[in-house]
Amino acid sequence: MRCVLIVVLLLLAGCASVPRQTQNACAIFEQRDGLFDNWRRAAYRAEREYGVPVPVLMATIYTESGFRHNARPPRTRLLGFIPWKRQSSALGFSQALDGTWAQYKRVTGRWAASRTDFSDAIRFIAWYHAESNRKNGIALNDTYRLYIAYYHGHAGYSRGNWSGTAKAGAKRAANMAAGYSRQLKNCGAW
């Protein structure tokens, strides 16, 4: 009984940890190729469903959460030292806000989807980017503009007054997507 418990705990600990080499897509997929928690399979499934290339999806997660399943924005401080409310309701791999996540579940019928589950989060990002394509005409392989729309929302993107933070994140995401694309071609990912 004790051995089974130890094995289960080790498996769960592996699922919750951040991959060691987050700047290498091949290494990420090698580290997360489990029977039930297979990130490569989830990423390519999202690409097939929504048409958004895997490097774009992975770069969005890298930029948003650094592949941390429980990522959250920092807390504000009351009187400069008392931890207070969080800056937003963003959570998980995708850093999706409560309202946007609820809309996604309602529109897609994926009521059990969780922001802390990689498969659900990458599918959400693919859906959101596909919506950016539909609503704003952004090409599905234009990581820079897709990230701006992801950061500011569809209406914020169309207004065009993008923040420096969003532009810096978009540049970082575009660079990561280019690197991930080269890596995936070389490692023979699906």
Ranked by mean pLDDT, which of 30-34, 78-82, 153-157 comes out on top?
153-157
- As a dihedral over the C-alpha atoms of residue 136, residue 141, residue 145, residue 146, rounded to 10 degrees, the angle is 70
Mean pLDDT of all residues in 70-74: 73
pLDDT at 148: 98
Mean pLDDT taken over the chain: 87
The yes-or-no verdict on residue 2 having pLDDT over 60 is no
For 45-54, 72-81, 130-139, which range has the lowest pLDDT when averaged over its residues? 72-81
Task: Say what the pLDDT of residue 138 is.
Answer: 98
HSE at residue 108, side-chain half, CA atoms within 13 A, is: 21
pLDDT recorded at residue 141: 98
Task: Give me the pLDDT at residue 13, please.
Answer: 41
